Amino acid sequence: MSQTASMSLLLSLSLLPALISPILAQTWTNCNPLNQTNCPSDTALGISNATYNFVTSSAGSTWNTTNGNLVYGTQGAEFTINKKGDAPTIQSNFYIFFGEVEVWMKAAPGQGVVSTIVLESDDLDEIDLEIIGSNTTHIENNYYGKGNTTDEAAKAKWYPTTGAPQDSFHNYTTRWTNETLEWYVDGSIVRTLAYADAVGGKNYPQTPMNVRIGVWAAGDPSNNNYTVKWAGGEIDYSKGPYKMYVQSARITDYSTGAEYKYGDKTGTWQSIDIVA
Ligand SMILES: *[C@@H]1O[C@H](CO)[C@@H](O)[C@H](O)[C@H]1NC(C)=O
Ligand SMILES: *[C@@H]1O[C@H](CO)[C@@H](O)[C@H](O)[C@H]1NC(C)=O
Ligand SMILES: *[C@@H]1O[C@H](CO)[C@@H](O)[C@H](O)[C@H]1NC(C)=O
Ligand SMILES: *[C@@H]1O[C@H](CO)[C@@H](O)[C@H](O)[C@H]1NC(C)=O
Ligand SMILES: *[C@@H]1O[C@H](CO)[C@@H](O)[C@H](O)[C@H]1NC(C)=O
Ligand SMILES: *[C@@H]1O[C@H](CO)[C@@H](O)[C@H](O)[C@H]1NC(C)=O
Ligand SMILES: *[C@@H]1O[C@H](CO)[C@@H](O)[C@H](O)[C@H]1NC(C)=O
Ligand SMILES: *[C@@H]1O[C@H](CO)[C@@H](O)[C@H](O)[C@H]1NC(C)=O
């Protein structure tokens, strides 16, 4: 499935009232093991400190471009919005089952433009970072358990930054165990979510995740009002191109299998089989 699918998901959600999360635009799955049988198992990263350098060349076949085209320049991978419909995105071919994701990114500027780093599982557990192009002082992070978007306002949190995230590269790191989820910016912890804090653990992200990095026009006028407002207002394509840059990523899988498989339909971490 491509980004087109997520965009149509967003469009269909725009028919619903404003309680629906705008962040769902990046959220989709090819096969949800809680609803479907015979979903393919997830290829594991299985190692520590896998390092991907995007300066002047792609990081090989480990990352798929799932939407648009990237250019690899001296600042790293360039994710560009030139016109309506552009939403360049890359996705790791591997999954991690708890671990650490460090991404060095310079966010895209521009009202209505959103730079994202998302960890997503097959059953729609999600951990994300969202940077609004016109907001030079704050970034947002959020999580979902099994695609539950209820109580959005309580889950999405904003944090002040030191320096505009659109002006220079910063270290955005997420450290994720079965007990806590921690978001760091430039080495300082900004947020901790404990297992029990997410509906007693039921909505705590706990299934194998792949990594998706991209930029999208949340402020496109075809999106619902809530999404456009959240994105800082409507995007003006004539003032583009809007570019996000990713220099590198360092990723650790805390599990060391070859594959991860859902053992049942509970979506709990205990139900995941680690295939050696
Ligand atoms: C999966 O099943 C759950 C529970 O029955 C339901 O809420 C959800 O909408 C389903 N998701 C998909 C993608 O079919
Ligand atoms: C991974 O790198 C971090 C720092 O970048 C270091 O603290 C840690 O020991 C490394 N882990 C392994 C298993 O090499
Ligand atoms: C990534 O690309 C490979 C080769 O084109 C394809 O087999 C695979 O399904 C793709 N994975 C994703 C997650 O799109
Ligand atoms: C940036 O986000 C913070 C937190 O939501 C908000 O208070 C501030 O008004 C935003 N700034 C702009 C320019 O949108
Ligand atoms: C969804 O989230 C709400 C609010 O956090 C919670 O009350 C509810 O139990 C959750 N639903 C499921 C199916 O986990
Ligand atoms: C996390 O995993 C460890 C080791 O399996 C276990 O002892 C601990 O109880 C787990 N924590 C939670 C919140 O399930
Ligand atoms: C990025 O931040 C993480 C979390 O604080 C830290 O472990 C890591 O060493 C930092 N990376 C570099 C290159 O400083
Ligand atoms: C929300 O969008 C609808 C349809 O696009 C429009 O008619 C309405 O005026 C908008 N409301 C606000 C508060 O912007």
Indicate which ligand has the atom closest to the C-alpha of 164: 4
Distance 146 CA to ligand 1 centre (A): 9
pLDDT class of 59 with cuts at 50, 70, 90: confident
Q: Is the dihedral of CA 183, 92, 10, 231 positive or negative?
A: positive
What is the reported pLDDT for 151?
Answer: 82
Tell me what the pLDDT averaged over the chain comes to: 90
Cα 251 to ligand 7 centre (Å): 11
The CB of 195 under 6 Å from ligand 6? The reply is yes
Nearest ligand 5 atom to the CA of 202 is 14
pLDDT of residue 152: 78
Ligand 6 near 196 CB (within 6 A): no
The CA-atom distances, in angstroms, between 125 and each of 23, 73, 217, 272 are 13, 33, 23, 14
Mutate to test the pocket of ligand 7, among 184, 191, 250, 251 (most ligand atoms within 8 A of CB): 184
Name the more confident of 10 and 87.
87
Q: Does residue 275 have a pLDDT over 90?
A: yes
Nearest-atom index, ligand 7, CA of 189: 5
Q: How many angstroms separate the alpha carbon of residue 77 from the centre of ligand 8?
A: 36
Q: Please state the pTM of the whole predicted model.
A: 0.90
Average pLDDT rounded to a whole number, residues 238-267 = 97
pLDDT bin (cut points 50, 70, 90) of residue 2 is very low
228, two tokens: 């456009």
CA–centroid distance, residue 215 to ligand 3 (Å): 20
pLDDT digits (tens, 9 = 90+) for 90-109: 999 999 999 999 999 999 99
Ligand 8 centre and the CA of 224: distance in Å?
8
Residues recognised as catalytic? 126, 130
- Could you give the percent of the chain with pLDDT greater than 90? 83
**Looking at per-residue confidence, does 65 or 10 come out higher?**
65
Confidence of residue 84 (pLDDT cuts 50, 70, 90): very high
Q: Any idea which fold 3-275 has?
A: Jelly Rolls (2.60.120)
Both tokens of 141, joined, read 């992070």
Contacts of 89 (CB under 8 A, 6+ apart): 3, 26, 65, 66, 67, 68, 79, 212, 213, 214, 215, 216
Predicted pLDDT of residue 153:
77
CB distance 49 to ligand 2 below 6 Å: yes
Q: In a 3-state reduction of DSSP, which class is residue 67? A: strand
Residue with CA nearest ligand 4 atom 10? 135
pLDDT tens digit string along 200-239?
Answer: 999 999 999 999 999 999 999 999 998 999 999 999 999 9
Segment 5-44, tens digit of pLDDT? 333 333 333 333 333 344 444 577 889 999 998 999 999 9
238 vs 59: which has the higher pLDDT: 238
Instruction: Give residues with Cβ within 8 angstroms of 15, minimum separation 6.
Output: none
Q: Which residues line ligand 4 (CB under 6 A)?
A: 134-135, 137-138, 158, 232
Please give the pLDDT value at position 26. Answer: 55
Which whole number is the average pLDDT over 64-80?
95
Domain positions in the chain = 3-275
Does the beta carbon of 197 lie inside 6 Å of ligand 5?
no
Query: 179 CB under 6 A from ligand 6?
Result: yes
